[in-house]
Amino acid sequence: MTSLRTHLSRTLLGAILVLEAAGGIGLYFAVEDAVTERFDSALKAKALAISTLTKVSDTGIQVDFSDHFMQDFEARHPRDYFELWDASGVPLERSESLGRRDLERRRTLGPKLSYWSMAIPGGRPGRAIGFTFVPHAPGSGTAKAVPVLTLIVVSDASELREDLLQLSLVCLGTGVALLSATLWLIPRVLASGLKPLEDLGERAASIDSSSLGTRFAVEALPEELRPIAVRLNDLLARIEQSFERERRFTSDLAHELRTPLAELRSTAECALKWPKTRSQETDADTLAIAAHMERIVALMLSLARGEQGLLRPQLESVAIDEAVTQRWRHLEERARHRGLRVELGVAARKAVADPSLLRSILDNVLENAVDYTPAGGRLAVNVPAHGATLFCVGNRTDELRAEDLPRIFERFWRKEAARSDQQHLGLGLCLSRSLAETMGLRLEAAMPKPGFLEISLKGPDGPAQS
């Protein structure tokens, strides 16, 4: 693909070349018309003067010239020529500059003034004017007796042609000079104008994983580049957050797997060192450790598939109240054993969702609420009949604070007091939010009052599902 600089250079050079050519040609023809018009005006004045000085007398046609007027028509320094014919084409009068030669007579001339180019005696270029007229006839009683005469006046146009030639050469030279200057100037102007863009590109190329905190100075850039810099800053911020999330995830995953791996290694070493004393309990511990690690890996794979958009939900109409009631039956005994005060408010409600993914969300949210609610604490499960909220699970908590809510859906995040709990890995809510987003739903956390956490599944923005 052609570079931006090359494209701009070609476009600007082409446009300027066309404009210069059009301007030069237009200037030449404008000056030519002005000079020619001025020349024709002088030629017209001479022709009209001759026609005015032409009279009819008893002896014939006479032209009364003054000595001053006849200087350009004299034979010594001839510059102008004229010839006068009667209606039948018989020459009546000619200038001394013609001698015995005749001008080329046009038979199509009329009263209207006509101009054309013609060669004067000697072969030089000339400019002619011709027309027919009725001469003045002093004392003539009738207009019929006055003849119609034809007059042609020619002036030497050599100087006019030389001036126009010089003008054309000046225009051509000026055009070449302007084009040369343009060829020299445009690349340098473009290089200077595109320098901020090149600097932006070089700075962007220098950013790697170790310098994601770099941001572009928007105010120092030209106005046209500011939107690009703003988008790049936003992109860098998202990439930095993603890298930071992945670093934290890697660290948390290593922390989560370190303990079961150490236990598994210790159990294996003991079994190898004292094979005869290995008890059945050792095998059970080994199996439990393996199952724990398998659960971590399975949850991570599910979370990765959800975040990468590989899950294809099978959406259909689901009875939310029935799904909540069914999933709660599996935890009812555990809640009773912990002495929880459970409040169920389940109204008939339907929504569009994937039944399997919805069950996973309910299991994670309800299990977290049962296990993390302090013994004897309050737990509320609600399914409203209308509104954007599909279900809401609230429970008393002594550990969480309002400032913890932004992190509650992060992978492997748990309050420090619960880090030793092997049953909860800190992935359930993160996975549940990912599954909800896959179905076009939203899983949100809120603390309507201190010490009471609510996890709500809400429908998409727009009309409430019911």
- Band (278; pLDDT cuts 50, 70, 90): low
pLDDT at 417: 44
**Contacts of residue 365, Cβ cutoff 8 Å, sequence gap at least 6:** 393, 428, 429, 432, 443, 455, 457
Residue 136 and residue 33 share a domain: yes
3-state DSSP assignment of residue 226: helix
What pLDDT is stored for residue 226 in this prediction?
86
Residues 6+ apart with CB under 8 A from 18: none
Give the DSSP letter string of 270-306.
HHHHSGGG--HHHHHHHHHHHHHHHHHHHHHHHHHHH
Are 282 and 329 found together in one domain? no
Q: What is the structure's pLDDT at 391?
A: 94
- pLDDT tens digits, one per residue of 12-50: 888 888 888 888 888 888 988 999 999 999 999 989 988
Domain boundary among 121, 146, 164: 164
Strand ranges (E), 5-113: 54-57, 60-63, 80-85, 91-94
287 and 335 assigned to the same domain: no
Residue 388 falls inside a structural domain: yes
Hunting for tokens 């001025």 — which residue is that?
38
Q: Which helix (H) or strand (E) holds 218?
A: none
Residue ranges in 194-273 assigned as alpha helix (H)? 195-205, 226-273
Please report the pLDDT score of residue 294 as a whole number: 72
Cα 86 from chain centre: 77
Per residue in 38-82, pLDDT (tens digit) is 999 999 998 998 888 888 877 777 777 654 556 667 767 788 899
Q: Residue 208 domain-assigned?
A: no
* Count of domains forming the chain: 3
Looking at residue 57, its pLDDT comes to 76
298 plus 244 within the same structural domain: yes
Residue 441: strand, helix, or coil: coil
Least confident residue range of 166-180, 392-406, 417-431, 447-461: 417-431
The answer to whether residues 145 and 245 belong to one domain is no
The pair of structure tokens assigned to 411 is 């992978």
CA 440 – CA 460 distance, rounded (Å): 6
User: pLDDT (tens digit, 9 = 90+) per residue, 163-190?
Assistant: 888 888 888 888 888 888 888 888 888 8
Domain boundary among 133, 164, 195: 164
Q: What's the CA gap between 440 and 457, in Å, rounded?
A: 11
DSSP state of 456: E
Question: Picking from 147-151, 251-255, 451-455, which range would have the lowest pLDDT averaged per residue?
Answer: 251-255
Q: What is the CATH number of the domain that holds 232?
A: 1.10.287.130
For residue 174, tell me if it sits in a domain: no
Over the stretch 118-146, which tens digit does the pLDDT of each residue have?
Answer: 888 878 899 999 999 988 776 655 445 67
What are 418-436's pLDDT values in tens digits?
444 545 556 778 878 888 8
- The CA–CA distances, whole Å, from 233 to 194, 203, 209 equal 20, 12, 15
The per-residue DSSP string of 120-180 comes to PTTS-EEEEEEEEE--B-TT-S-GGGSPPEEEEEEEE-HHHHHHHHHHHHHHHHHHHHHHH
pLDDT at 308: 62
Residue 437 counted as domain residue: yes
Spatial CB neighbours of 379, under 8 Å, sequence gap ≥ 6: 335, 340, 341, 342, 343, 369, 370, 373, 393, 394, 395, 396
Compute the distance between CA of residue 184 and CA of residue 181 in angstroms, rounded to an integer. Answer: 5
Residues 156, 230 within the same domain: no
142 assigned to some structural domain: yes
CATH number at residue 96: 3.30.450
The answer to whether 218 and 229 have CB atoms below 8 angstroms apart is yes
One domain, residues 300 and 322:
no
Whether residues 377 and 452 share a domain: the answer is: yes
207-239 confidence digits (pLDDT tens): 887 788 888 888 888 888 888 889 988 988 888
Q: Are 426 and 432 a contacting pair, CB within 8 Å?
A: no
**pLDDT value of residue 44:** 93
Based on the domain organization, do 286 and 417 belong to the same domain?
no
> Is residue 206 assigned to a domain?
no
CATH of the domain at 349: 3.30.565.10
Token pair listed for 15: 């446009």
**Does 173 reside within a domain?**
no
* pLDDT score of 65: 65
Domain check: are 349 and 244 in the same one? Answer: no
CB 354 within 8 A of CB 315: yes
Q: What is the DSSP letter of 22?
A: H
**Which domain covers residue 257, as residue numbers?**
226-307
| Over residues 279-289, mean pLDDT | 75
Bridge-based pairing of strands 378-383 and 341-346 is: parallel
Residue 154 Cα distances to 116, 125, 307, angstroms: 9, 10, 95
In a domain, residue 215? The reply is: no
- In this structure, the answer to whether residues 397 and 300 fall within a common structural domain is no
The verdict on 40 and 66 lying in the same domain is yes
> Exposed, middle or buried: residue 358 (CB in 10 Å: 0-12, 13-18, 19+)?
buried
Residue where a domain terminates, one of 164, 183, 209: 164
Q: Which amino acid is at 88?
A: S
| pLDDT of residue 379 exceeding 90 | yes
pLDDT mean over 267-289: 75
Reduce the DSSP state of residue 74 to 3 states and report it: coil
